[in-house]
A = this chain, B = another copy of it.
Amino acid sequence: MSTPSEPIHPGSQPAEPILVVGSVALDDIETPVGSHHDVVGGSANYFGAAASLFAPVQLVAVVGEDFPEGHLNVLASRGVDLAGLERVPGRTFRWRGRYGADFGDAETLETQLNVFEHFEPKIPAAFRAAPWVFLGNIHPDLQRGVLEQIERPRLVAADTMNFWINQERRALRRVLSHIDLLVINSTEARLLSEEESLYDAVDAIRAMGPEMVIIKKGAHGAMLFHPEGTFCAPAVPLRRVVDPTGAGDTFAAGFMGYVARAGNRDFATLKHAMLHGIVMASFAVEGFGQDQVLGLHRRQIDARVAHLTQMISLG
């Protein structure tokens, strides 16, 4: 059994920390293969649990009095620094969603902001120099507030969702002009850009600010649009999906984790980071919540990356 501090790809130096800001939540999830209540979720939580397999994680979020202390201990034991996690009076952010037979985009049945309603991320002094930053899917004004508190990171990646694209387009556009990489799915890319063609959509998004865009395509893999070219990777072949919740954040965690571990952001590194993101997402969807990711061994990740590499090898 491996430990979180063991390097996935040994480098000449220890991995640099990744700062993540996002939600920590309790979710109710309905899928065609079962329903679960009070599943520990949220973008920062999914990201932190998965990225901690690659690099130290600095987490900024808020929980209420009802959030299980045990799970925070799990995160801390994996090397997630919780100095930026506030616990405040009230209930934790809650999301209730449902997946259809195709396990496509979730239908949101209910969102309770609870303690998130008055949340303003405060970045601890010790986190402000983080070289790698991931802005999880929260209000774009909160994402921008984070950028105003930190020093000059080497890479800022952000996620968003249809709700913010529709309701907070102007705030979102302001964030986009300050990030390096936007990670979204193809439906969101079309919605944000108002372009039908995926390639026109990516051009339009890059014109809004981010020099790089990753388009997540679920069972069809993911594409990285980079100034030096386009990289296209398939999904890990899976026969059964159990719960797609958190797959996007877990993808981002594998991607950013690999980058932090490698300590650079050149195009070749980002290609390998794509494979690690896809592989981490594949484990995420195989279990409810974080079941699979929390129990993951390094050799399982390496084996799937090797399989994926073989699937696109011309040799």
Contact = CB atoms under 8 A, between A and B. Distances in A.
Interface of A: 197-200, 217, 219-221, 223, 229-234, 237-240, 268, 271-272, 309-315
A221 B313 CA distance: 15
Contact of A311 (B231, B237, B239, B272): B231
Contact of A271 (B197, B223, B240, B314): B314
A217 B272 CA distance: 24
Nearest to A234: B232
B310 A229 contact: yes
22 contacts: A197-B238, A197-B239, A198-B219, A199-B238, A199-B239, A200-B239, A217-B220, A220-B220, A221-B232, A223-B234, A229-B310, A229-B311, A230-B237, A231-B312, A231-B313, A232-B311, A233-B312, A268-B314, A268-B315, A271-B314, A272-B314, A312-B312
Nearest to A235: B232
> How many protomers of this protein does the assembly include?
2
A314 B240 CA distance: 28
Contacts of A312: 231-233, 312, 314
Given A221-B232, A312-B314, 13 more contacts: A197-B238, A197-B239, A200-B239, A220-B220, A220-B221, A229-B310, A230-B311, A231-B313, A232-B312, A233-B312, A268-B314, A271-B314, A309-B314
A105 B313 CA distance: 30
A238 to B, nearest CB: 8
Contacts of A315: 268
Nearest to A200: B239
List 8 A-B pairs, minimum CB-CB distance, nearest first: A232-B234, A220-B220, A312-B312, A197-B239, A232-B311, A199-B237, A199-B239, A271-B314
A236 to B, nearest CB: 11
A61 to B, nearest CB: 34
A233 B220 CA distance: 11
